[in-house]
Structure 1
Amino acid sequence: MRFLADMGVSWRVVQYLIQEGHEAIHIREEGLHRLPNGKIFDKAYAEKRIVLTFDLDFGEIISRRAEVTIT
């Protein structure tokens, strides 16, 4: 699986996912820690990644995008 970890997620989580064979990156690793959440979501969607976050506003972002399917 492919993951994109937001700022509130520990680097240790990303490291664990990588050790378990997943492709995981942290938003800071990409130099994108100042991106608004909508742009973070767009990046994850374009790269077919799962967003790991504690931010509650991602649910609102998803609900405004009709083309996105949540499974």
Structure 2
Amino acid sequence: MKFLIDENLSPRVAELLTKAEHDSVHVRDLGATSAPDVTVMALAVAQDRVIISADTDFGALLAQARTAKPSVILVRELLELRAPDLVNIIIGNLDVLEPHLQAGAVAAFTTSGIRVRALPLR
């Protein structure tokens, strides 16, 4: 899969996903540090990437836009994890999540599981 890692996560997340053979970039690598969320979303759509972020504003923006892309993985409740542990959790669940993310979805990781909502949000 192709991922765009938001600035609220360590660039190490992108490095580890790349090492695991996923096409992954951090917003810093695209010169989009401090860019508004709508700009990050536009970059993800243009490059067909799934956003990985701790920023719940992406869900609100997707609901407002009523669009089916980009898909977003929210990891807000897992922020205390080190980058390798976070990446292992994401990769460990990609088999189940990938079809949803390709179709357009928001997947929210929580301490008790994963919630998936299909896009567009209503």
Aligned AA for 1:23?
D
Give the superposition deviation at 1:30: 1.1
**What percentage of aligned pairs have identical amino acids?**
28
Aligned AA for 2:44?
A
Q: By percentage of residues, which structure has more helix?
A: 2
Q: Which has the larger Rg?
A: 2
- 1:60 — aligned with what? 60
**Structure 1: where are the runs of 5+ without partners?**
none
TM-score (norm 1): 0.89
Greater relative contact order (CA < 8 Å, ≥ 6 in sequence): 1
Q: By percentage of residues, which structure has more strand?
A: 2
**Structure 2: where are the runs of 5+ without partners?**
69-103, 106-117
The 5-angstrom pairing of residues 1-71 of structure 1 reads 1-68=1-68, 69-70=104-105, 71=118
TM-score (norm 2): 0.54
| RMSD (Å), alpha carbons | 1.2
Structure 1's consecutive aligned runs of 4 or more residues displaced over 4 angstroms after TM superposition are none
What count of residue pairs does the alignment treat as equivalent? Answer: 71
